[in-house]
Amino acid sequence: MHEMSITLSMLDIVKEHMARHGVERLRQVRVRIGEMSAVEPESLRFCFEASIKDTPLDGAVLEIEEVPLTGRCRECGREFRIEGYLSRCPACSSLSIDHVAGHELDIISMEGEQFDA
């Protein structure tokens, strides 16, 4: 289950960020997961909750934003949702397509309570 190693490295980033900003209680973490990132949202949520249980982060909420695979046509510039493996521009039928979204695996934001502000 590679979601566990993703969760642990995500929590490392979160903890480092909290330490740097003097945040002692984490309320929420928002992540963006592309359709092609091979991360199962429910599995990520499970790992997150298991990893923070009985730690200072316990009670934090994981918000997951799922990003569909999106392509841009190199011929006409049209952006569209890619479904299935054959991606063809719906406007000009070109097969020359770049992926512009759908591979993300990012922390977008985190919210916490700051005690030394």
- Chain residues that interact with Zn ion, rule: CB under 5 A: 73, 75-76, 78, 89, 91-92, 94
- Nearest-CA neighbor of 71 among 106, 31, 36? 36
34, 105 Cβ separation under 8 angstroms: yes
Task: Identify each DSSP E strand in 6-104 by its residue range.
Answer: 23-34, 61-67, 70-73, 79-81, 97-101
Residue 100 CB, nearest distance to Zn ion (Å)? Answer: 13
Residue 71 CB, nearest distance to Zn ion (Å)? Answer: 10
**Nearest CB to Zn ion, comparing residues 55 and 93:** 93
Residue 86 CB, nearest distance to Zn ion (Å)? Answer: 14
